[in-house]
Structure 1
Amino acid sequence: MIKNALFVRLEAKPGKEQDVAQFLQAGLGMAEQEPATPVWFALQLGPSTFGVFDAFADEAGRQAHLNGAIAQALGANAPKLLSQPPSIERIDVLGAKLPS
């Protein structure tokens, strides 16, 4: 069962919106390599606002993701792509409906 999640809000620098979108699209491949990350969504919330929602069975999975390849890539690329540091919210999942 999914118990833990993250919501990460990203604000692109002016002119970097397409680069952020491409970065997030590339993140899918990295997320697919994380067995402890069964749910991963890259989102565009507005013209320059993006987000990532991902969910995990337990805190260990969430922590592994926070220490994984996507987080490292985001940290390395954030200064050139984002107008401010990513906002990372830890979320407790109260219920979920997922495909079987």
Structure 2
Amino acid sequence: MVKCGLLVRLEAKPGREQAVADFLAAGLEMTNREAGTPIWFAIKLSPTTFGVFDAFANEAGRQAHLNGDMAKALMARASELLATEPSVEPIDVLAMKNQLA
């Protein structure tokens, strides 16, 4: 059961929008290797604003993700890709539906 998550907002530097989108798409491979990250979405909120929503069964999974390869890769490239520091918001999951068509 999913109990907690993260909502991360990323504002691309002017001209770096495609690089941010490409970075997030490539992040799927890193995140797939994280056993404690069962749900992960890379999203585009506007032409310059991107994000990640991920969810975890428990706090240990969330902390493992925050200390994992994807987070390290993002922070290593943040000054190159992002106009501002990433906004990382821990969230609690109140209810969830997960049914693929």
User: Which bracket does the TM-score occupy, shorter chain normalised?
Assistant: over 0.9
Structure-1 residue corresponding to 2:77? 77
* Count, aligned residues: 100
Structure-2 residue corresponding to 1:59? 59
Letter in 1 for 2:23: F
Q: How does 1:11-90 map to 2 (within 5 A)?
A: 11-90=11-90
Deviation at residue 99 of structure 1 after TM alignment: 3.5
| Unpaired segments ≥5 residues, structure 2 | none
| Unpaired segments ≥5 residues, structure 1 | none
User: When the two structures are superposed, what TM-score results if normalisation uses the length of structure 2?
Assistant: 0.97
Local SS of the residue matching 1:34: coil
Deviation at residue 41 of structure 1 after TM alignment: 0.1
Local SS of the residue matching 2:28: helix
Structure-1 residue corresponding to 2:97? 97
- Deviations along 1:36-78, whole A, 9 cap, x unmatched? 0000000000000000000000000000000000000000000
Letter in 2 for 1:69: D
Deviation at residue 12 of structure 1 after TM alignment: 0.1
Q: Distance in 2 between matches of 1:75 and 1:51?
A: 14
Task: Return structure 1 stretches of 4+ with deviation > 6 angstroms.
Answer: none
Q: Distance in 1 between matches of 2:55 and 2:26?
A: 18
Deviation at residue 98 of structure 1 after TM alignment: 1.5
Local SS of the residue matching 2:55: strand
Local SS of the residue matching 1:70: helix
Structure-1 residue corresponding to 2:8? 8
Local SS of the residue matching 1:50: strand
